[in-house]
Structure formats: structure tokens, C-alpha cells
Chain A
Amino acid sequence: MHETLPASGPPSFDERFDALATLSYRVAYRMVGSREDARDIAQEAMARAYARWPKVRDKAGGWVGQVTTNLALDLLRRRSRPVPAPSEPVSDPAGRTAERADLVVALRRLPRRQRDVVVLRYLADLPEAEVASTLGCTAGTVKQHAHRGLAALRASLELTTTALDEGTSIETVAKGAP
């Protein structure tokens, strides 16, 4: 195992709180692009970690990263269902709404395992060993999924970018159907 536990025993929720909350917020913000939503998602992810800390603590970074991703994808799915109001105010201090949308569409297209690896490795910036122990596989498997997932993501992102350049809407390319 590659777990790096402090000699004093397993880390407490309080000890890890700031690092995990920051990780969760970063992952959420990269996907949803709103401070309010990212805060809310991070709170929910941290509350879930708190409720089951003894099970979570040895793989907390990966666990929180995964829960955050699922919460963000759920939020975006719920938002996308009703007809989006064109005048909807966008609170995205970092801008880049289109890039975010591309990223989410591309992530959704990835097979489950590749997506898990890509999210934990690149969105949550976790080291390979931690991703491996979270997902219960070897570092080699993580490397493989990360490689394939990243290639697929790149191809997917190029596709939407090209489509945009040609004046096609992302929706059409992403969903293939109305």
C-alpha cells in the first residue's frame, strides 16, 4: 500500500478539513463555474465525508473528489433539463463558460472508469498512488486509464472546438439529437 498515514494514527476529520474542502471546492468550481454552487457542493461533499469518516479517512482525497464530481454532474444535469433561460445571470468570475461546458460534455462521454481516473488525477490533482488506492486498483491501471482517458478527452475537446469554429452548436455535436 502507498498510504502515507502519520505515525500518530489515522488523520482526524478536523486535521484534513481545510485541505479536503479546498480540493472539493476546486473540483466543483472547475465544473460548475459558480462560487455559490461550488460552495454548496463542497459543503455537501464534506458533510457526507463527516458522516462516514471511519470508512472514508484512508482514501479521503479520492473519496471527496469522486463525490464532488457526482454532485457537480447531477447539478448540471438538473439545470440543463428545463429550457435554459437566455437571460439567466451567469456568476462566473473566471469566465470561460464555454470551456467549462466543453469539459463537462467531454467528461460525460468517457467510460466510467476513465472518467473517475481523469477527474481524480487532473481535476482533483491527486497523485497516482492515491487515485489507485481510492479506486482499489494498481498504479499501472491508473496510468493506463489516465492515458486513454486524456487522449479521449483531448479528441472530444478538439471536436467541440472545431464544431464551434464551424458555427455548429455544441449541443448538436455533443448529443447528436435534440
Chain B
Amino acid sequence: MNIDDLHELDDPDPFVPDATFRAAVDTRGRRRRRRHRVALGVVGGATTMLVLVVGFGGYQKWRSSQVVRIDLADRLDPRLGAVSDAGQDPPPPPDEAINILVVGSDAAMPGEGRELVTDVRTDTMMIVRADPAAGTIAVLSLPRDLWVAIPDHGMERLNTAWETGGPALLIDTIKANLDVPINHFLQVDGQGFQRIVDQSGGSGVWAAGDLRDTSTGFVADGPGCVHLDGAQALALVRSRHLELAGPNGAWTSDPTGDLGRIERQQVMGLVFASSLLDQDLSITAADDLLDTLIDNAAIDNTWAIRDMAGLLRWAQGLDLAENLVMTSPPVRGGHAGQAAVLYLETDAAQPVLDLFRPTPPAASTDDTGTVTTTTGATGAATTSTLPAGGISEGPEWVLATAPDGTRCPS
């Protein structure tokens, strides 16, 4: 046949999309959109693990164990309904919304009696909001290059708050710049993440081609499904300089840096959470995972284990596929001196931040999904100052499913 006669292959009856066709698209599309929303940050994934594990009755073990405690009593916003560790009754579910600052950091967990090491960069900073009244969990990923006013330190990157003042200064900075209350603090380190991924059998993701990051040691042979063990999963979520191999062997870098990484962390979180939720964890497997968390997590000193257990039991009863919202504040790329930083789009950020504030105005999580489905910059206004592609459109080099929608085996 002749390539110029492709119209001969057309349907002789012209296709007109009718109402039935449109209705089918809407139904399928809504189902897909919900699935997109179920993106969960990496540390959010660790939190899910905590949810599952504590659901197995492991909280008694937690209670008696040596979890690293950080004194943040004068920084955190107190909760009226906080439950103490006194009493033997099963922990009650929370009766108010709780904001938890979750940090994934390269810092090794300090041993008993040692100071928490904070002079290392963070991999992930996010605010997880559990809202019992709405029956939802919302996650706000915070870019570490966000340009913020650090109390008594002037304008710096958000990550600098962590590097110089640890959790206390990070909490102060978030409250001062985003006006979002923080009730509790949880830190998980890279080793913990790696062990959890290994213990759950690894993760399957789809790679658009050969990928690498020479600084974290990440390597993937694509295109196609790739299996990641804990070390490779960690190398991927840490990757800020991911490169894709072109047809001529040249490597292209992801121009979006930290935001591309946040998108990949959300992809990883989704894969990780769905594989966890599909798993039938044996009690011994659950015990191993719990040990990992004890070794590799630190929590604030105001958070009673029994209170945490009540929250986790509540979360376990949620259908995460329907009730988990992943967000990130709208930002715009720019420069402060020599440094590439991200500026908060203050006005556009308010509807997103409202989701994490007390008594949020009428939900922005309706089916139009204008707030909740967006990661990074929103709208055309933010893309003008950015390098080609815009930061809301990080390259889709790593996906939770293959392009045809099938899941990669984990």
C-alpha cells in the first residue's frame, strides 16, 4: 500500500462522538482521576506501614520500646483532645484534625542519650493532615528549595531551617511562612525507608528509558517495568539529577530538579502504598517492619504512643483510594543571588494551604479537582519564568504504571 493513501483506511461512516460515548469517557475518567489522587509521599508510605503494623496490635511493643523522642513541646501546637499513655483502654480515635510534620532525612537516627543529628539535608518534608470529621488524609509536600523567612536567620531555603536549627526551627519556619499549625513531628531516615522497601519485597515502577543518577547511584534499564530493591528505591527518591538516555547515547537531565523529585517521590509512594495495601502481612513480617520503624524513626515528646495508635487505627479503616489527597504548594522558579530557589505563589497557595488549616472553607476537593490534582506550579501564570517545560510538567520518566495502565510487578 501507499503511505500517502492512509485515508483509505478510514471508517467509511464518519465517527461522531455521541452521548453514550461521552458518558463512558466521563465514568472512566473519574475513576482514573481518583487513582491519580492516591499519590502518597514516600514517608507517607512509611506512615501507611505504621498504620498497617500498629493495626496488628503492635503498639504495645512500641509503647515499651526505645523510640527516639525529640523535645518539641514549646514549638508544637497543643491539641485539646490529645490522649495520654495512662489507661489500659483501647486507644480512642482522634476527635479533631491533626497536622503531622513528617521529615525523611539522610541523618542517621541518634542512639539513646545522643543528640539528633540534623546537619544533613532532608530528602522529604511533608505535612500530613488527618481529619476525622472529613474522613480524609491530606499530604502537602514541601520543596526544600522553597524561599522562606527563617525566624532570626533572614531569607533562606526551607531546607536551611532544618540544617541549622533542626525540627524546632523547621516548625517555626513553616508556621511563620505558611500559617499552618503543626501538632506532631515524625522523622524517618533513609536506612529505614530502604529496609521497609526490602521487607515489603521491593517496588515495581515503569521507566521511560535507560535512566541514571550518578550522584545517588540510581540505574534503570528501560523502557519498561523495572524492579527496585530498597537501595535502588532510595537512590531514586533521592535523585535530583536524573538523566534519560537518548537514541544516540547522549544523556538528558531532568531540568526540574527538586520538583521532578517530588513528583517521582509521589509516584514511588503510590506504588509502595498500593503494594502494601495489597499485601497480606504475616505477624512476623509485621514485627520485622515494626523493629525497623523503632530503629529508624524519631517522634516528638508530646505524642503519646496510645494517641498515635488511635490515629493509626482510625487511618487503617479509611479507604485510602478514595480519601487520600496529595498536594504541593504552587511555586515559581527564580534566583536569589546565585541560588536557584522556588518562590511561593502566595495568592494561589491559599486554597491549598487552607486544606491544612483549622476549619477550612468549603472543600476544594470536589470533582473538578482543581486544587488537589496539581503538583507544583499551577496555571499558566507560573510557567513564564521557568525553564522549558515548566515545573509542573516534570518529565514523566518514572511512572506508577505502564502507559497502558497495567501495574508493574513489585
Interface residues of A (CB under 8 A from B): 9-10, 17-18, 21-22, 25-26, 29-30, 33, 35, 38-39, 42-44, 46-52, 54-55, 67, 70-71, 74, 93-94, 96, 99-100, 102-103, 111-113, 122-123, 136, 150, 153-154, 157, 161
Contacts and interface: CB of A to CB of B under 8 A. Distances in A.
Interface in B105-141: none
B8 A43 contact: no
A35 B13 CA distance: 10
A73 B17 CA distance: 22
17 contacts: A21-B21, A22-B15, A25-B15, A30-B10, A42-B15, A47-B25, A47-B28, A49-B29, A52-B373, A55-B392, A67-B403, A94-B11, A96-B1, A103-B6, A150-B3, A153-B3, A157-B3
Contacts of B33: 50-52
A122 B4 CA distance: 9
Given A52-B373, A99-B1, A154-B3, A47 B9 contact: no
B390 to A, nearest CB: 9
A103 B17 contact: no
Given A51-B36, A55-B393, A122 B1 contact: no
A122 B247 contact: no
A30 B9 contact: yes
User: 10 closest A-B pairs (Cβ-Cβ)?
Assistant: A50-B29, A47-B28, A51-B32, A47-B29, A21-B17, A99-B1, A51-B33, A25-B15, A30-B9, A46-B25
A33 B11 CA distance: 8
A9 B35 CA distance: 28
B25 A43 contact: yes
A28 to B, nearest CB: 10
B249 interface: no
Contacts of A55: 392-393
Contacts of A18: 16-17
Contacts of A50: 25-26, 28-30, 32-33
A48 B3 contact: no
B404 interface: yes
Contacts of A54: 370, 373-374, 378, 392
B404 A74 contact: yes
A9 B380 CA distance: 9
A33 B9 contact: yes
Interface in B281-331: none
A29 B36 CA distance: 28
Contacts of A38: 11, 15
A99 B388 CA distance: 40
Nearest to A31: B9
Contacts of A43: 21, 24-25, 28
Given A71-B404, A103-B1, A157-B1, A39 B21 contact: yes
Contacts of B1: 96, 99, 102-103, 157, 161
A157 B30 CA distance: 41
Contacts of B153: none
A46 B28 CA distance: 9
Given A21-B21, A42-B21, 15 more contacts: A9-B380, A18-B16, A18-B17, A26-B15, A29-B11, A30-B9, A50-B26, A50-B28, A50-B29, A51-B35, A52-B373, A93-B11, A94-B11, A103-B6, A157-B2
Contacts of A111: 247
B247 A113 contact: yes
A93 B14 CA distance: 12
Given A46-B29, A94-B12, A122 B6 contact: yes
Contacts of B393: 55
A24 to B, nearest CB: 9
Contacts of B404: 70-71, 74
B17 A99 contact: no
Contacts of A96: 1, 8-9
Nearest to A57: B380
